[in-house]
Amino acid sequence: MSRGPSLQLNGTGRLRHFLTIDGLNRELLTEILDTAEGFAGVSERTVKKVPLCRGKIVANLFFENSTRTRTTFELAGKRLSADVLNLNITASSTSKGETLLDTLRNLEAMHVDMFVVRHAVSGAAHFIARHAAPGVGVINAGDGRHAHPTQAILDMFTIRRHKGEFTGLRVAIVGDILHSRVARSQILALNTLGVSEVRVIAPRTLLPVEARSLGVHIYHDMDEGIRDVDVVIMLRLQKERMQGAMLPSEHEYYRLFGLTEARLAAADSEAIVMHPGPINRGVEMASEVADGSRSVILQQVSYGIAVRMAVISIIIGTQNQQGQDNKG
Amino acid sequence: MSRGPSLQLNGTGRLRHFLTIDGLNRELLTEILDTAEGFAGVSERTVKKVPLCRGKIVANLFFENSTRTRTTFELAGKRLSADVLNLNITASSTSKGETLLDTLRNLEAMHVDMFVVRHAVSGAAHFIARHAAPGVGVINAGDGRHAHPTQAILDMFTIRRHKGEFTGLRVAIVGDILHSRVARSQILALNTLGVSEVRVIAPRTLLPVEARSLGVHIYHDMDEGIRDVDVVIMLRLQKERMQGAMLPSEHEYYRLFGLTEARLAAADSEAIVMHPGPINRGVEMASEVADGSRSVILQQVSYGIAVRMAVISIIIGTQNQQGQDNKG
Amino acid sequence: MSRGPSLQLNGTGRLRHFLTIDGLNRELLTEILDTAEGFAGVSERTVKKVPLCRGKIVANLFFENSTRTRTTFELAGKRLSADVLNLNITASSTSKGETLLDTLRNLEAMHVDMFVVRHAVSGAAHFIARHAAPGVGVINAGDGRHAHPTQAILDMFTIRRHKGEFTGLRVAIVGDILHSRVARSQILALNTLGVSEVRVIAPRTLLPVEARSLGVHIYHDMDEGIRDVDVVIMLRLQKERMQGAMLPSEHEYYRLFGLTEARLAAADSEAIVMHPGPINRGVEMASEVADGSRSVILQQVSYGIAVRMAVISIIIGTQNQQGQDNKG
């Protein structure tokens, strides 16, 4: 399946869909971060709205349930003054690829401007973007194990807010790399933005075989991997992965890889702790760490709205421009 | 049950509910089409909103699930700047007619301005309209096998956009006339608007006994019925009707009544193909036809929003006027 | 558990949460009623909106399903021009109190301004208010058997609209006092607002042991208790309470405590009849009474929107002021 940059960028290199970090250069990632910076203030105003996308229709096209992610996109759309349509599509109604396309064509015919797609199958958002009509943007809100690019961007935004610059940073990503749709996006973004070192800390059973090719340093020992890092990104442990003997037990996982105050002491004294949520307290990390002074986990949630506003408004801008070029 | 025009028209012949095509004259149907024409452009603008119904509350009162129809009314309401309330009422909570009235009275007490009603029982929208408070409008969004009048109007709108006038046209309606809530509405509308010939093409088992009284020409042979028509309206085959031996098999149905490129060649060379969606490809028609140059199926979806905006705004206008007359 | 006034009032006695009638003085209750009076007209306008809460986000956080109550808060929020987020939280996803706090923290991080909380457990809204961030308001929309204060206020509003003043009134509350989350709120409000007599009419099995301490007169005979009252407030009989032998049968209940035209004749000739809905006709009262000239049941529903607009806007006002004081 082609996932080249040409699908998400138009002829002049502008973002028309947002599917993956793959193929986006530092300038484009920085533009998204800078745009989000402008929106971060909107959420803190008394009137939390800007009229940028008034009259636009953003459809949340969720093929798997995720109230949390859907809510952040709904709020982002509403703060841009767009109308937001929530469509939960059961797997049964779209068992044939043909039917998915018919659903898409119908929504396009209703003049929906943007689809925010969540799907259990890797590549689903790419498939929809490839078949979307001109003028319609697609955002990947998580496709299988593949990518969750707005989560990766909000992580970058959080790091930049706290650390100022990416150069010189050491960042550790800890946990279930194998099943994470976030980890791959994060590694790509961190390397593109120029951090000096990305470390991956995971048990052997939760590390994909291609890990070494991603430009990371691999650790299987938590205490060793966390030493002197500036940023610790904890991944969520999907409890359903425990079956199949990939992991001995939650207790054992916590003993080996759980982030405690004691372990965190080995990191840089100014290190920040991140997690995409929801946290399994006592599994991925101790409550003291989750609620402690180093934790920026709730700021990630706040910044997530600003980042999604940035991505939606940039794409709507590109698509509007495209529409006018087509007319002119 | 009385379904006379007096229920949906006020004393001066203005539309106060929209329940059925039955009893509406050509002037009124043309007024709806002309109003929809004005809204068709709104969906194509950058800002897809007009402030006509700002502060009004439109409640989607759906007793059976239909995401597709609900979404079109939700979008129509939002483009008119109304607030839209989605209420899915399970059959269980309204097993008694009395309870349905209590539900209605409660929503009226909350000052809901309009109910868009979808119900599995024929006459449900009429029942609600008959008991609605003055100033509250009711739109029938499909009641059992009886009527689905906004669908019929959007079909008329699509025909007029492509053919300019109704006089002189030959129109064929193909398929399960017996169980269709759309077919009866379409036949009434086509005859009222003055087409020269309405044909019905169907197997004997899917034709209601009263068909002959509707002012149509009946065909049981597809190739014969389609000859020289200007418009082909395909009906959706409800797969659950296959049981009970009304139909031999999907394959057999397609062989006898499926619309193929070869069959379409017998129609007028400028003939258009319509379908209310969702299409069963390879049952009602070939994919080449559904996606071909004669198909206007996706335009029907687009026009559906404009038509629903027209009906909502006309009724809100009548009800506002009524309210002021009552005060004055 | 402390439920003192300090939780719902700020340092200057302004309402920052609305959790219970307990601890609110007559001035504050009157201020809510007066504010609601101003909004009662908004629902009757052609444009039913005021821009008071534009850009604010009100989240309906419903841990148990209640379409009716949720809809009134949704409409109240929308008429104030707020964005309303509906979140149905299943019990399973919040089995641990810790997780509830994480959910709360996440929504706060998304800059939600107000939580409208419905929960089966008494004290849930207090728990959330106690942990809410500064600037975030909480409204109790029903917690277990404990309180449902906006319902009590809308009852007071209805009484004042019809009777003008509270002093001199005799009010009877009839039915399942034991399991009602409304009755306790009503008794507190009526006594605070200075009615001359609150009567409670109930079978012994449906009366809480502490009833006598609430400042009411207790009757077990309906004909005796209703004599000369100005207001009859009927409570809803939860049918699931019938099990466990608390009640003989619906029929027997109706015979002893059901409100009929004949019984109502013993009340004051201008007495009004109230019920929180939905009514069990033929159990709590006869249909003739529910739909009769003394019934103000549907007006309660209308006034419910105005009262919720009042409570939301007062709290948002307090929280805005708080925010500015913190900055200044």
Alpha carbon C40 to its chain's center: 17
Which of B83-87, B260-264, C21-25, C42-46 is predicted least confidently? C42-46
A304 annotated as belonging to a binding site for a ligand: no
The verdict on a CB contact (< 8 Å) between A281 and C98 is yes
**Which residues in chain B are closer than 8 Å to A323, comparing Cβ atoms?**
46
- Close Cβ partners of B141 (under 8 Å, ≥ 6 residues apart): B60, B62, B66, B69, B70, B73, B116, B117, B118, B125, B148, B150
Task: Inform me whether the pLDDT recorded for A94 exceeds 80.
Answer: no
Sign of the four-CA dihedral A288, A261, A203, A228: positive
The Cα C144–Cα B183 span in angstroms is 51
Q: Are C176 and C276 in contact (CB under 8 A)?
A: no
Closest-CA residue of chain C to A280: C99
Q: Which residue out of C52, C92, C110, C114 would a mutagenesis test of the A interface target, given it has the greatest number of A Cβ atoms within 10 Å?
A: C110
Residue with tokens 């689809």: A115
Cβ contact, residue pair A72, C323, below 8 Å: no
- Which H or E element spans position B310? helix B297-327
Determine what percent of chain B is predicted with pLDDT higher than 70: 91
Nearest to B78 among A83, A87, A320 (CB): A83
Rounded alpha-carbon distances, angstroms, from residue C183 to A11, B9, C163, C201, C323:
67, 45, 20, 11, 35
> Contacts of residue C304 in chain B, CB cutoff 8 Å?
110
Q: How far, in whole angstroms, is CA C203 from its chain's centroid? A: 23
Cβ <8 Å between C68 and B106: yes
Long-range contacts at A77-80 (CB < 8 A, ≥ 24 apart): A77/A53, A77/A312, A78/A49, A78/C57, A78/C83, A79/A39, A79/A42, A79/A43, A79/A48, A79/A49, A79/A50, A79/A305, A79/A309, A80/A49, A80/A50, A80/A52, A80/A53, A80/A56, A80/A309, A80/A312, A80/A313
Query: Does B51 belong to an annotated binding site?
Result: no
pLDDT at site A326: 65
Say whether B45 and A55 touch across the interface (CB within 8 A).
yes
Domains of chain A: 5-147+302-322 (3.40.50.1370), 149-297 (3.40.50.1370)
Distance in angstroms (rounded) separating the CA atoms of residues A238 and A214: 23
Q: How far is C43 from chain B (nearest CA, A)?
A: 6
For residue A132, give every residue at least 6 positions away whose Cβ sits within 8 Å of its Cβ, in sequence order, or none.
Answer: A17, A104, A108, A115, A138
- For residue A189, pLDDT beyond 50: yes
Quick check: A195 and A169 in contact, CB under 8 A? yes
The minimal CB distance from C279 to the residues B102, B109, B323 is found for: B102
Q: Write down which chains contact chain B via at least 3 CB pairs under 8 A.
A: A, C
The mean per-residue pLDDT over the stretch C228-242 comes to: 86
Using the beta-carbon criterion (under 8 Å), do A72 and C110 form an inter-chain contact? yes
What pLDDT score does A5 carry? Answer: 47
Q: What is the pLDDT of residues C286-297, one digit of tens each?
A: 999 999 999 999
Nearest to C75 among B102, B105, B110 (CB): B110
Question: Tell me, what's the pLDDT at C93?
Answer: 54
User: Taking the CB of residue A215, how many other CB atoms lie within 10 A of it?
Assistant: 12
- Report which secondary-structure segment, H or E, holds C239: none
Q: What is the distance in angstroms between the Cα of B86 and the nearest Cα belonging to chain C?
A: 10
Strands B217-219 and B197-201: parallel
> Which strand ranges, in their side-by-side order, compose the sheet holding C272-274?
C217-219, C197-201, C170-174, C231-234, C272-274
Q: What is the pLDDT of residue B66?
A: 83
Question: Which chain C residues have a beta carbon less than 8 Å from that of A278?
Answer: 99, 102, 106
Q: How far is CA C234 from CA B237, C173, C175, C214, C287, in A?
A: 51, 6, 6, 18, 13
Residues of chain A found within 8 Å of residue C320, distances taken between Cβ atoms: 46
pLDDT averaged over every residue in chain B: 89
- pLDDT score of B25 more than 90: yes
CA distance A102 to chain B (A): 8
pTM: 0.88
What per-residue confidence (pLDDT) applies to C214?
A: 85
Q: What is the pLDDT of residues B163-217, one digit of tens each?
A: 999 999 999 999 999 888 889 899 999 999 999 999 999 999 888 888 888 889 9
Is there a binding annotation on residue A308? no
φ, ψ of residue C125 to 5 degrees: the values are -65, -35
Beta-strand pair B83-88/B57-62: parallel
Three-state SS for C186? helix
Min Cα separation B3/chain C (Å): 26
CA distance to partner chain C, nearest, from residue A134 (Å): 30
Kindly indicate the confidence band of residue A93, based on its pLDDT and cuts at 50, 70 and 90: low
pLDDT for position B93:
53
Average pLDDT over residues B293-322: 94
Residues of chain B with Cβ-Cβ distance to A54 below 8 Å are: 47, 49
Could you tell me which chains touch chain C, where touching means 3 or more CB pairs under 8 A?
A, B
Contacts of C281 (CB under 8 A, 6+ apart): B98, C287, C290
**C294 in Cβ contact with C272 (< 8 Å):** yes
Inter-chain contact B56–C48, Cβ cutoff 8 Å? Answer: yes
Chains that touch A (3 or more CB pairs under 8 A): B, C
Angle (nearest 5°) at CA A204 between A201 and A205? 120
A-interface mutation test, from B298, B303, B309, most A Cβ less than 10 A away: B298
State residue B244's pLDDT score: 60
Can you tell me the distance from the alpha carbon of C86 to that of C67, in angstroms, rounded to the nearest whole number?
Answer: 11
pLDDT per position as a tens digit, B208-247: 888 888 889 999 999 999 999 999 999 998 776 666 656 6
Give chain A positions within 8 Å (CB) of C321: none
pLDDT at B82 exceeding the cut of 70: yes
Q: Provide the pLDDT confidence category of residue A102 given band limits of 50, 70 and 90.
A: confident
pLDDT at B90: 65
pLDDT at A37 over 90: yes
Contact at 8 Å (CB) between A230 and A158? no
Average pLDDT over residues C154-182: 94
Provide the pLDDT for residue A219.
96
Does residue A170 register a pLDDT over 50? Answer: yes
**Considering only CB atoms, which chain B residues are within 8 Å of C78?**
57, 83
User: Under a CB-based contact definition with an 8 Å cutoff, are residues A24 and A37 in contact?
Assistant: no
Which pLDDT score, from 0 to 100, does residue C242 have?
60
Query: Are the CB atoms for B110 and B133 separated by under 8 Å?
Result: no
Nearest-CA neighbor of C18 among C152, C164, C195?
A: C152
Q: How far is CA C81 from CA B112, C161, C313, in A?
A: 16, 26, 11
Residues near B23 by Cβ (< 8 Å), separated by ≥ 6? Answer: B3, B4, B5, B8, B9
Q: Is the model's pLDDT at A298 over the cut of 90?
A: yes
* A187 pLDDT above the threshold of 90: yes
Query: Measured between CB atoms, which of B44, B46, B301 is closest to A320?
Result: B46
Token pair of A307 as six digits: 């980042």
CA distances in angstroms from C248 to A310, C245, C252, listed in the order given: 63, 6, 6
Contact A227, A266 (CB under 8 A): yes
Q: How confident is the model at residue C241 (pLDDT cuts 50, 70, 90)?
A: low
Give B71: exposed, middle or buried? Use CB within 10 Å, 0-12, 13-18, 19+. Answer: buried
The pLDDT, as a whole number, for residue B175 is 94
CA distance B116 to B107: 12
Phi, psi of C185 (to 5 degrees): -60, -40
ipTM: 0.85
Question: What are residue B176's phi and psi, to 5 degrees?
Answer: -80, 75
Residue B228, pLDDT score: 98
The predicted pLDDT at position A245 comes to: 59
Residue C246: per-residue pLDDT: 65
Beta carbon pairs, B and C, within 8 Å: 54
Interface contact C109-A45, CB threshold 8 A: no
Give DSSP secondary structure letters for C253-321. Answer: HHHHH-B-HHHHTTS-TT-EEE--S---BTTTB-HHHHTSTTB-HHHHHHHHHHHHHHHHHHHHHHHHH
Instruction: Record the tokens describing residue B182, joined without a space.
Output: 């759309």
pLDDT 10s digits, B39-74: 998 777 777 889 999 999 999 999 888 888 999 999
Residue among B46, B78, B298 minimizing CB distance to A109: B298
State yes or no: pLDDT of C95 exceeds 80: no
Query: Chain B partners of A109 at a C-beta cutoff of 8 Å?
Result: 298-302
So what's the pLDDT on residue C217?
96
Q: Residue B57: which of C48, C299, C300 has the nearest Cβ? A: C48
- C-alpha distances (whole Å) from C164 to each of B151, C168, C185, C195 are 51, 11, 21, 12
Q: What is the mean pLDDT of residues A81-105?
A: 73
Q: Which residue numbers of B have CB closer than 8 Å to A's CBs? A: 43-49, 67-68, 71-72, 74-75, 78, 277-279, 281, 287, 298-302, 304-305
Q: Give me the pLDDT at residue B243, please.
A: 60
Rounded to 5 degrees, φ, ψ at B180 are: -85, 130
pLDDT value at residue B92 = 43
Q: In B, what residues contact C, Cβ < 8 A?
A: 54-57, 83, 85, 87, 98-99, 102, 105-111, 320, 323
Task: Report helix, strand or coil for B71.
Answer: helix
Which residue numbers of C have CB closer than 8 Å to B's CBs? 43-49, 67-68, 71-72, 74-75, 78, 277-279, 281, 287, 298-302, 304-305
pLDDT at res. A90:
65
pLDDT (tens digit per residue) in A195-224: 999 999 999 988 888 888 888 999 999 999
Complete DSSP assignment for C128-145: HHHHPPTT-EEEEEEETT
* B151: confidence class by pLDDT, cuts 50, 70, 90: very high
Q: In 3D, which of C185, C217, C189, C219 has the Cα closest to residue C202?
A: C219
3-state secondary structure of C117: strand
* C187: pLDDT strictly greater than 90: yes
pLDDT grade for C92, boundaries at 50, 70 and 90: very low
pLDDT of residue C231: 98
Q: Distance (Å) from the C-alpha of residue C318 to the closest C-alpha of chain A? A: 13
Task: Mark yes or no for CB contact A106/B49 under 8 Å.
Answer: no
Q: What is the pLDDT of residue B42?
A: 79
Beta strand C57-62 pairing with C114-119: parallel
Chain B partners of C60 at a C-beta cutoff of 8 Å? none
Residue C94 has pLDDT above 60, yes or no: no
- Copy the structure tokens of residue A180: 């994470």
Closest CA to A226 of A201, A195, A194, A189: A201
Confidence of residue B95 (pLDDT cuts 50, 70, 90): very low
Q: Was B69 annotated as part of a binding site?
A: yes
The letter for the amino acid at A106 is N
